[in-house]
Structure 1
Amino acid sequence: MPNHPENREITGRTRVLGILAHPTEHVKAPPAINRIAAERGKDAVMVPFDVAPEELAKVVEALRQIKSLDASIVTVPHKQSIVALCDELTPQARAVNAVNILRFEPDGRLIGGQLDGIGFVEGLRSAGVDPAGMRVFLAGAGGAASAVAFALADAGISHITLSNRSRHKIENLRDRLRKFRSDLSVSLGSGDAGGHDLVINGTTLGMKPEDPLPLDVATLHAGMVVAEVIMEPEMTPLLRAAQAASCRIHHGRHMLQHQLQLMADFMGL
């Protein structure tokens, strides 16, 4: 049988991969992971698992019992709450305190990993944007935003301004970043993105039409790179406003595209 996704059949030997989300309509990984599985000659298929936050612990415990389940991607809104459900974390996941990928080991252990930030930075670099030395404004302090912050710190940015509706979350992220890289300049801001080279929306604001903007778009100006972690819709209100302000825009899909191969490796494909 030709090794193409459209020609593959699910059999009793097919290994199962999941993606935990709520809702699942926005997820982009399954078709790409299924293509990678086919390219690598692996009999595996990824399917979406729509799990409400209050049911996550029960679902994860049930998933541990499925012998044909090898791994799962984890996305909004579960990246931080799933940390406590893992038996072991990779160093990246431990530093960020968020997980975006799980591996179910044969001995029953659940290993949590974190590839969001690495994927984001590699996406920037592939588009010709080197974050080294940049002044960064980051909206958000959740799982994706924290992962991006640590990866940018590791990539050599000179300063990061953290902005979030919840003050204690950015204070906590600031303290963890300073421990991670003692020479990094970190400040807490509001919605004013002025004076920065790279402006990032690390929140979920923009996924729904009624969402408020994650920052004051009046402070955007030409010369900035404005980036999203949101993948659906591709053109968020923030990116449209940035484009109108003559900023360079960077879509959320780049983050996923550059971590898919890493995810496949982690899942054992």
Structure 2
Amino acid sequence: MSGITGTTRLYAVLGDPVTQVQAPAMLNPVFAELGVDAVLVPVHVEAAHLAEVVTGLQRTGNLDGLLITVPHKIDACAFADVLSRAVQASGSTNAMRREPDGTWTAENFDGAGFVLGMAAAGHELAGRRITLVGAGGAGGAIAASVLDAGAARLHVCDPDQGKLSALLDRLAAGRPGRVTGGPAPELERADVVVNATPLGLRPDDPLPFDPALLPPGAVVADIVMKPRETPLLRAAAAAGRPVHHGAHMLSHQLDLYREFFRLGGPGRP
């Protein structure tokens, strides 16, 4: 793409805040590489205005897709006509596509991206005990995907009992005895602990948990992408625990986005 013109197709990533989003820096070069006349821009949307912004954007004739980030991944599901299996399992969406008939399909690639990123870094999930901190939009997607990847046991913690209970009910179907939950994380016997909360976006955020309480060798994964070295990951490294950065979850979604948004490219439809 040589520049934005009257034929440029639009994509938007919605969040509050959006200063941390990495998707434009990663997807816009993909558009250019593929010769797709499109651009992805960040759109700052407060929760109180989500409905009017999403419905307004969906009526924009040259807008083909939306990416959804914190804190809108759960509430944005209400604006889709079709929910994928991953969205139904997680209760959240991070990508929405306009169909040729004008309807909207919601998908969620957070969980798949997280699992692919962990595998690429050499972190096995099958047979492992996973603790997930945060039952929000990204947390729900990661929870469903790590169970599908063969995790032996998943413990989810969140202080919001309603949100936690809703996620546990969805996850328990077909997975008897593998999922537990509560207000505090189980750390002492965990093999992998994932921060799926926004804690770490701001420099004065408290740590979501103390990595020094983990057994030796337990992996600490953070889905916060900016800053790259979150306070949690710094504390985990200082405690001698292996760390996994948030950027891996997004970078391993790029091919999934290409397919979902029908962007084509070499060897692709």
| TM tier relative to shorter chain | over 0.9
Q: Distance in 2 between matches of 1:221 and 1:183?
A: 23
Match of 2:158 in 1: 164
The Cα shift of 1:36 comes to 1.0
Contact 2:155 2:185 in 1 (8 A): no
One-letter amino acid matched to 1:143: G
Task: Report the RMSD for the aligned CA atoms in angstroms.
Answer: 1.5
Runs of 4+ residues deviating >4 angstroms: none
Q: Tell whether 2:21 aligns with 1:27.
A: yes
What is the deviation of 1:221?
3.6
TM-score (norm 2): 0.93
**In structure 1, what residue type is equivalent to 2:154?**
I
Alignment of 1:246 onto 2:227: no
Equivalent pairs counted in the alignment come to: 263
Indicate which of 184, 190, 193 corresponds to 2:187: 193
What are the Cα deviations for residues 4-55 of structure 1, in whole angstroms up to 9, with x where unaligned? Answer: x6xx211111111111111211000112111111222211111111111111
Q: Hey, what's the Cα distance between the residues in 2 that align with 1:259 and 1:147?
A: 13
Aligned partner letter, 2:208: P
Contact 1:220 1:242 in 2 (8 A): no
The answer on whether the counterparts of 1:161 and 1:189 sit within 8 Å (CA) in structure 2 is no
Q: CA offsets per residue over residues 82-140 of structure 1, 9 Å max, x none?
A: 11121111111111110100112232211111000000000000001110000011101
Q: Percent identity?
A: 42
Structure 2, unmatched stretches of 5+, are 264-269
**Matching of residues 1-269 of structure 1 within 5 Å:** 8-182=2-176, 184-188=178-182, 190-269=184-263
Report the secondary structure of 2:12's partner residue: strand
Q: Is the 8 A contact 1:221 1:245 kept in 2?
A: no
Segments of structure 1 that go 5 or more residues without pairing to the other structure are: none
One-letter code of the match for 1:245? Answer: A
After superposition, the C-alpha distances for 1:205-247 in whole angstroms (9 at most, x for unaligned) are 1111121211233412421110011101111111111111111
Contact 2:31 2:37 in 1 (8 A): yes
Amino acid at match of 2:149: A
The secondary structure found in structure 2 opposite 1:39 is helix
Which amino acid counterpart does residue 74 of structure 1 have in structure 2? I
* Alpha-carbon separation, structure 1, partners of 2:40 and 2:166: 35
TM-score (norm 1): 0.93
Shift of 1:163: 1.3
Q: What is the SS of the residue equivalent to 1:82?
A: helix
- 8 Å CA contact retained: 1:220, 1:245: no
Moved more, 239-248 or 149-158: 239-248
Alpha-carbon contact 2:154-2:180 (below 8 Å) kept: yes
Q: 1:44 to 1:180 in 2, by over 3 A?
A: farther
Distance in 2 of aligned mates of 1:69 and 1:13: 11
